[in-house]
Amino acid sequence: MVVVCSLVFAGSQQTSSTLASTIITNARYYLGEATADYWSDAELLVYLNKGTLDIVSRTRALESSASIDLVSDTTEYTVTPDYIDITTVIYNNASGDPIGLIHKNPQSVGRLSPGVPTYWYEWAGKVGIFPALSARTTETVSVYYVSRPSAVTAASAVVVPAIYDQALTLYIASQGLLKERQFAKAGQLMAAYYAELDRYRQDFVDQQKEPETNVTK
C-alpha cells in the first residue's frame, strides 16, 4: 500500500491561486501584445506549463512524501505518484522509529543477508530497499520526492507557489520573444527569471542546510 502526503521543505508549498490566464495576460505586457495576435493564448499556455516544470525542477517547489508498506524478502517497490526526483528514504521500524537510509545503487544489492534495511536506490520508477526484511510486521518506508506538476488549462490556477508567479511570467515572455527571434531581449528576461528563482532559493532553500559544527581540538 502507498500513502501520499505533502511535505513542506523549500518554503511554502501552498500553490498560487492565480489563474493561468492571468499569468498569460501579464506576460503579454512584456511582449507588447495585449490581445492574441502573433502569440495565441494556446501557445503561451504551452510555455506556461513548460515554465512550471522548469521552476519545480530548479527549486523543488512541489515536495511530497509517500508511505510504502514493506513486504518480506522484497527489494523493489513501485512509486505510484509522478515524480521528478527522489531525495530521501526513511525506514520506519516496527516500533515506529524513523531511520534514514543511505543512498546506494542497484549493483550493491545481494551483498548483505536479509535483515534490517540500511540502503536505498531509485531505478526506472521503483525504489529499492535493502537488505530486504526477512520477516515483516508493521515496517514501512517514507519516500520523499519532488512531484512532477500536471499541465493546467487557462481557466485553472497555476500549481507553483505564489512567490513564483513573476518568474513564470518572465519565462513565458522570454519563450515568446525567442519565437520572434528577439534573442537579446529574450536573454534579458531569462536572466531576470533565473535571478527571481535564485532570490527565493537563498531565502528558503539554502537556509534549510544544517549549520557546520565547530570542533575544538
Digit-coded pLDDT (tens) for 81-110: 999 999 999 999 999 999 999 999 888 787
Q: Choose between 108 and 181: higher pLDDT.
A: 181
* Average pLDDT over every residue of 152-173: 96
Name which of 122, 55, 118, 140 is nearest 85 in CA terms. Answer: 122
How high does pLDDT run on average in the chain? 87
- pLDDT confidence band for 128 (50 / 70 / 90): very high
Please tell me the pTM assigned to this model.
0.80
3-state secondary structure string across 142-157: EEEEEECCCCCCCCCE
Separation CA 132–CA 12 (nearest Å): 36
* Average pLDDT over every residue of 194-207: 72
How high is the pLDDT of residue 108? 79
Q: Choose between 206 and 186: higher pLDDT.
A: 186
* 148, 36 Cβ separation under 8 angstroms: no
- pLDDT confidence band for 114 (50 / 70 / 90): confident
Q: What Å distances lie between residue 169 and 22, 50, 54, 162, CA to CA?
A: 9, 12, 13, 12
* Average pLDDT over every residue of 106-135: 88
Q: What Å distances lie between residue 81 and 25, 78, 132, 176, CA to CA?
A: 32, 9, 23, 32
